[in-house]
Amino acid sequence: GYIGYDEFQKLVGAEEFSLLFVWDLFSQQNELMDVTELLTLICLFSSASLEEKARFLLALFDKSKCSVCTGVEVAQLCTMVLGILSRCTGLGATRMKEVSSSLKLELPSLLKAYAEAAGVVGGDVCFGQERVIFHSEVKHIIEPLKHTYERLAFSRPPPGDSPPPPPPSWGIIVGAPQRAAAPPGPNEQSAGAPRKPQAEPPQKEEPHLAWLSRLEDEPLGVVDSAPEPQRSWLLMHGVDFASVAKDLPNFRQTFVRSASTSLGLPAARVEVANIALGVHSASTLLELLLHPDVAGQDDRPLLTLVHMLEQQLGCGHSALRKGPFGAFIEDAELLGGPPRRNISSPLLSRSLDEQVQRFEMAVQTDDDAELLRAPWPMIRPRETDPAEVEANTNLRKAFRDLDGIRRRTEKAKVARQSVLEELEKRKALIAELQAELGA
């Protein structure tokens, strides 16, 4: 269902500026708000524990109200939570398709009953129809999320100046006796007597302005700096980025599971920050983060984990190379910084035998004034030597001829492939006709 702003104001006992902030983010056309989204928002940012939040959300999205959910309902729950976080942080929203594909991979390893049902009726049918995710198994469901949840701000204790939660008896008590009106005091006037002019009360400062002025008066405290994760880049040669981009969530999930299993880490400590095109068209670059252990159970330094991952890449019999991600890292290298494309052309040099002078990407000129004096567009200096002009002309013509030959070769390969496919179809048709004639 949906509620208006008046009902929202009665339900949520918060300051006016906080209500306006929430209403501006989550209302639809500034008129109505989804009740399910509101309850999820309150549960997510409450001071309850992770297990209590998970139990409440499972009960909220359970359409059968029988304490057992389907995989689709859990995916709707996760999509709603990620959508709320994306609106609050300004990041891109997560699609239901990506969440569903990740849950289909994770749920069989977390819940035994779900794995058995998926083996009987199939993964897609089990995910959409079978109710095998019991609320009592919430501890197994939230186990992979604990490390990531502990890094979030709303997992910590509430601030000291936050209002306390309402008591259990908060709300209107139906049938409560009404209090009798007290007689007017000596300083109070009766209803029929004329009122005396009173002094105007002092102007009360707006809530958000009072909050800002209080922030200016308070001294700046020392913020506890969280340990930084270790960032690395995995360059995979021979892996076409176009084919990887067709299913990025599955590719990311496969790497996280394989890397965390090979290093003996929780999956939450391995994060894929970005997947992009590598140094050339037939390579893929994966940017990964190794997070420190906030619980203090693993005392291995992050650099040691990076060296272990590099050893796993170099050993052909390692768990990482033998796992489901092994097909992508047959020719891969782990880098400590982002690679730079090395673009060079023989046309940039006057002769093929002359050594080409190269510069860093950030340093293209020694003087800023030289860059400002350069004409735009840049004019290529004219060549005066006739022999050099003829050599460069012949070289460009040779490159054009080679490009034309390459294109004709590619077209011939495509045509040959289509002819072979047509020939196979005709052979199959002839064999079928011969079988019919023989019968």
**How many Å apart are CA 142 and CA 135, to the nearest integer?**
11
**How many Å apart are CA 332 and CA 318, to the nearest integer?**
14
40 pLDDT band, cuts 50/70/90, is: very high
192 pLDDT band, cuts 50/70/90, is: very low
Whether the per-residue pLDDT at 130 is higher than 80: the answer is yes
- What is the mean pLDDT of the segment spanning 339-359? 50
Higher per-residue pLDDT: 186 or 44:
44
Ramachandran region, residue 123 (left: φ > 0; alpha: ψ -120 to 50; beta: rest):
alpha
Q: What is the per-residue pLDDT for 346? A: 44
Q: What tens digit of pLDDT does each residue of 233-288 get?
A: 999 988 888 888 888 888 888 898 899 888 888 888 888 989 998 888 788 999 99
Separation of CA 337 from chain center: 22
Ramachandran region, residue 175 (left: φ > 0; alpha: ψ -120 to 50; beta: rest):
left
Q: State the greatest distance between any 2 C-alpha atoms of the chain, in Å, as a whole number.
A: 121
**How many Å apart are CA 221 and CA 224, to the nearest integer?**
9
Sequence-separated (6 or more) residues with CB below 8 Å from residue 87: 25, 26, 93
Q: Which of these ranges, 30-44, 151-165, 284-298, has the smallest mean pLDDT?
A: 151-165
**How many Å apart are CA 10 and CA 167, to the nearest integer?**
16
HSE (CB half, 13 Å, CA atoms) of 79? Answer: 17
- What is the mean pLDDT of the segment spanning 121-149? 88
What count of other Cβ atoms lies within 10 Å of the Cβ of residue 69?
A: 23
Q: What is the per-residue pLDDT for 352? A: 39
The strand order across the sheet containing 332-335 reads: 270-277, 283-290, 230-237, 332-335
Give the rounded percent of residues in the chain with a pLDDT score beyond 70: 75
**How many Å apart are CA 193 and CA 202, to the nearest integer?**
26
- Evaluated on CA atoms 148, 153, 158, 162, the torsion sign reads negative
Whether the per-residue pLDDT at 368 is higher than 60: the answer is no
Whether the per-residue pLDDT at 302 is higher than 60: the answer is yes
Tokens describing residue 184: 């007017």
HSE (CB half, 13 Å, CA atoms) of 254? Answer: 16
Name the pTM for this structure: 0.56
Sequence-separated (6 or more) residues with CB below 8 Å from residue 238: 282, 283, 330, 331
Whether the per-residue pLDDT at 209 is higher than 90: the answer is no
The amino acid that residue 259 corresponds to is A
**How many Å apart are CA 396 and CA 391, to the nearest integer?**
9
Whether the per-residue pLDDT at 122 is higher than 60: the answer is yes
**How many Å apart are CA 362 and CA 47, to the nearest integer?**
48
Q: At what angle do helices 50-61 and 35-44 cross, to 10 degrees?
A: 170
- Evaluated on CA atoms 138, 144, 146, 150, the torsion sign reads negative
What count of other Cβ atoms lies within 10 Å of the Cβ of residue 307?
A: 12
**How many Å apart are CA 314 and CA 308, to the nearest integer?**
10
349 pLDDT band, cuts 50/70/90, is: very low
Q: What is the per-residue pLDDT for 378? A: 45
SS3 of the chain: the string is CEECHHHHHHHCCCCHHHHHHHHHHHCECCCEEEHHHHHHHHHHCCCCCHHHHHHHHHHHHCCCCCCEECHHHHHHHHHHHHHHHHHHHCCCCCCHHHHHHHHHHHHHHHCHHHHHHHHHHCHHHHHHCCCCEEHHHHHHHHHHHHHHHHCCHHHCCCCCCCCCCCCCCCCCCCCCCCCCCCCCCCCCCCCCCCCCCCCCCCCCCCHHHHHHHHHHHCCCCCCCCCCCCEEEEEEEECCCHHHHHHHHHHHHHHHHHHHHHHHCCCHHHEEEEEEEECCCCCEEEEEEEECCCCCCCCCCCHHHHHHHHHHHHHCCCCHHHHCCCHHHCCCEEEECCCCCCCCCCHHHCCCCCCCCCCCCCCCCCCCHHHHHHCCCCCCCCCCCCHHHHHHHHHHHHHHHHHHHHHHHHHHHHHHHHHHHHHHHHHHHHHHHHHHHHHC
Q: What is the per-residue pLDDT for 389? A: 78
